[in-house]
Amino acid sequence: MSKKRIAVLTGAGVSAESGLGTYRDNGGLWDNYDPMEVASIEGWYRNRSKVLDFYNMQREHLRNARPNDAHRAIAALEKDYIVDVITQNVDNLHERAGSTHVVHLHGEATKVRPENTFNDEDGYSEKAVFDVGYDAVHLGDKAPNGVQLRPHIVFFGEAVPKMEEAINLVSRADIVLIVGTSLSVYPAAGLYRYARQEAPIYIIDPAEVPLFDSRIVHIRKVATEGMKDFAGML
C-alpha cells in the first residue's frame, strides 16, 4: 500500500522550545521591533542597514539554536508517511532535524540575494540566491553582479512565491497538521482551507486558536508535548 501524505504547516511556535522567540506572543519579536521597519519592502528601501542588522541578529540566534523534539518528531513521521513541511519560519531547524522536504513560505534567514531580483522573473530567482550560513551581511556587501545583497526573506508587502506549491501540497494531503502559528499572516494562514474534505486537521498550540472548521482537533500543548499526543492519534 502506498504511504499516506501528511502536510505539516509550522510557525514560530515549533521553534520556541529551541529558544527562538515567536513574533506575537507577549515579549515576542514584534513587541520589540516594528515589522514595518525591519521586515517590509518599504522598510528595506528606507533603511537597508536596519533591516540587514535585524536579520544579522536572527542568523546569530540561529547559529546557537538546536532543533527540538518537535522538529525531530516531525522528521520521524517520514518513516511511515510522505511528509511535506510547509513552514512560515525562516530558520533551518526542520532541515537540521532531518526533514527532507521543507517549503519555506517566507524565505530563509541563512540566504541572501541581490536586491534587484524578484520572484516574477524566474520563480524567485533561485539561481541568484546565496547561502551565507550564519554570517553577517552589511551595506556595501554585493553579489557578483555588483548589486547590494538583501535577505532572502519575503518582506511584508511582497508576494509569497511558494504559495502555489504549498496549496498543491495541502490539497493532496490525507492529514493536515498545524504547529505553533497564530494563523494571523495571510496568505499562509488560509492554507489549511485547501485541505480535502475528508482530511482531518490537527492544531498543536498552547494558546486559544481560531477554529473555523469542525474537523479541527486542537491539541492545546507546547509543540514537543503536542507531537507526542499527535503521534498517538495516528
Nearest residue (CB) to ligand OAD, 136 versus 159: 159
CB of 227 to ligand OAD, least distance (A): 9
Question: Strand pairing partners for 216?
Answer: 201
Instruction: Report the distance separating Cα 156 and Cα 224, nearest Å.
Output: 29
234, three cell numbers: 495516528
Q: Is 25 in the site for ligand OAD (CB under 6 A)?
A: yes
For 21-86, give the DSSP string: --SSSTT-HHHHS-HHHHSBHHHHHH-HHHHHHHHHHHHHHHHH----HHHHHHHHGGGTEEEEEE
Nearest residue (CB) to ligand OAD, 106 versus 199: 106
Q: Is 106 a catalytic residue?
A: yes
Q: Is 137 in the site for ligand OAD (CB under 6 A)?
A: no
Residue 153 near residue 114, CB atoms below 8 Å: no
E strand intervals along 64-180: 81-87, 102-104, 107-114, 130-131, 149-153, 175-179
Which residue among the candidates 71, 106, 138, 218 is catalytic per the annotation?
106
The dihedrals phi and psi of 64, each to the nearest 5 degrees, come to: -95, -5
Each residue 78-97 as x (binds ligand OAD by CB under 6 A) or -, in order, gives ----------x---------
User: What number of other Cβ atoms are within 10 A of residue 229's Cβ?
Assistant: 14
Looking at 91-99, 130-138, 179-187, 190-198, which segment touches ligand OAD (CB under 6 A)? 179-187
Instruction: Report the distance separating Cα 191 and Cα 171, nearest Å.
Output: 9
Q: Is 39 in the site for ligand OAD (CB under 6 A)?
A: yes
> Which contacts of 46-51 are long-range, i.e. CB under 8 A and separated by 24 or more positions?
48/139, 48/148, 48/150, 49/138, 49/139, 51/150, 51/151
Instruction: Report the distance separating Cα 87 and Cα 191, nearest Å.
Output: 11
Choose which of 35, 165, 167, 215 interacts with ligand OAD (CB under 6 A).
Answer: 35
Each residue 193-212 as x (binds ligand OAD by CB under 6 A) or -, in order, gives -----------xxxx-----
Nearest residue (CB) to ligand OAD, 39 versus 52: 39
6, three cell numbers: 501528511
Choose which of 135, 184, 187, 190 interacts with ligand OAD (CB under 6 A).
Answer: 184
Q: Is 11 in the site for ligand OAD (CB under 6 A)?
A: yes
Q: Is 222 in the site for ligand OAD (CB under 6 A)?
A: yes
Determine the size of the site formed for ligand OAD (CB under 6 A): 26
Nearest residue (CB) to ligand OAD, 143 versus 178: 178
Site residues (vs ligand OAD, CB under 6 A): 11-13, 16-17, 22-25, 28, 35, 39, 88, 106, 154, 180-182, 184-185, 204-207, 222-223
Catalytic residue numbers read 106
